[in-house]
Amino acid sequence: MESLGTFGEVDCGVPIRDFFSQFDKNSKEDDAGGVPSKAKQKKLARESAALSENQLPCEAGSSIFLRHDPDRFDRMRAVITGPGGTPYSGGCFVFDVYFPAGYPEKPPMVNLDTTGGGRVRFNPNLYADGKVCLSLLGTWHGGGMEEKWDAKKSSLYQVLVSIQGLILVDDPMFNEPGFDGIRGTTEGDMKSREHNEEIRLYTVRHAMIAHLKKPRAGVEKVLTEHFRLRKWTVMREVLSWCKEAGDPTVQKRMWGAARELSQLLAAL
């Protein structure tokens, strides 16, 4: 995966045509307003230079890849691979990123694209409509001031690493306010296990199979290469999830998804 580079121009070489609709609208409105501010251009140039030096993590456990539109760095598409040991393990989660006219005084805007067509909520901080709740983005109002966006210090790198490390976690149910009180209890362990089984199934269906059937534009090479290089590891993980599923209905669905996944991986 290192050969692909963690940061660069979109894989297809043409502008992202299926960019998140609201961000696409925002970018057209901003473009109509004239030349981007010097502050935005300067901050984007610094961030792009840092990201070009392979700043983003690229490891077997989990990696982050970022692609920008040709000739403009304020429209990007990111892929975060699910960290090992979590119900997201081996899956690919695609996000659209837009830097608004007020950047860097305003944080970048991030939307989750991997939602099963708006049907799946992968985490209390990841909504089915694509909303990403994170203090750095100003979309979550919890946490201290040190977790808020700071125009001088904060960066997209921090945003993406925060999603990777604070949202794609091993027990996502406890990201929901109020649930942390039952962490470590028999009830909490049971509910978390049941929740994770559902998330695992969603991961196989929407963060694996869907990408293999129709890789998202702009990150096609990243997605295909991820599954080509990790297909045996991914398949072993999914088979273990099938065996561990306690709910018979979930287990049946998981086995069905695993069979479809194995056929798609074998074709790579």
Separation CA 38–CA 211 (nearest Å): 37
Enumerate the domain spans of the chain. 2-172, 179-266
pLDDT class of 34 with cuts at 50, 70, 90: confident
pLDDT at 250: 95
pLDDT at 253: 97
- Per-residue pLDDT, averaged over 5-17, amounts to 91
pLDDT tens digits, 219-251: 999 999 999 999 999 999 999 999 999 999 999
Residues 6+ apart with CB under 8 A from 101: 30, 33, 36, 37, 40
Query: Which residues make beta-bridge pairs with 218?
Result: none
pLDDT at 13: 87
The mean pLDDT of the chain is 93
Query: Which residues make beta-bridge pairs with 77?
Result: 67, 96
Backbone angles phi, psi at 67, to 5 degrees: -130, 140
Q: Which token pair is 50?
A: 């840092």
Burial of 177 (0-12, 13-18, 19+ CB in 10 A): exposed
pLDDT at 140: 84
pLDDT at 197: 97
Distance of CA 223 to the CA centre of its chain: 12
pLDDT class of 2 with cuts at 50, 70, 90: low
What's the pTM? 0.96
What proportion of the chain, given as a percentage, has pLDDT over 90? 82
70 within 8 A of 9, measured Cβ to Cβ? yes
pLDDT tens digits, 110-136: 999 999 999 999 999 999 999 999 999
Backbone angles phi, psi at 58, to 5 degrees: -140, 90
26 within 8 A of 97, measured Cβ to Cβ? no
Closest CA to 261 of 207, 190, 188: 207
Residues 6+ apart with CB under 8 A from 83: 61, 62, 89, 164, 165, 168, 169
Q: Which token pair is 156?
A: 């997209």
What's the CATH number of domain 2-172, 2.40.30.20, 2.60.40.10, 3.10.110.10, 2.60.40.420?
3.10.110.10
Residue 182 has pLDDT above 70, yes or no: yes
Separation CA 185–CA 190 (nearest Å): 9
- Per-residue pLDDT, averaged over 186-208, amounts to 94
Which residues does the annotation mark as catalytic?
A: 133
pLDDT tens digits, 145-177: 778 999 999 999 999 999 999 999 999 999 988
Q: Are strands 64-68 and 75-81 parallel, antiparallel or unpaired?
A: antiparallel
pLDDT class of 54 with cuts at 50, 70, 90: confident
Please report, to the nearest 10 degrees, the dihedral formed by the alpha carbons of residues 113, 13, 2, 123 taken in order.
0
pLDDT at 131: 97
Backbone angles phi, psi at 142, to 5 degrees: -85, 180
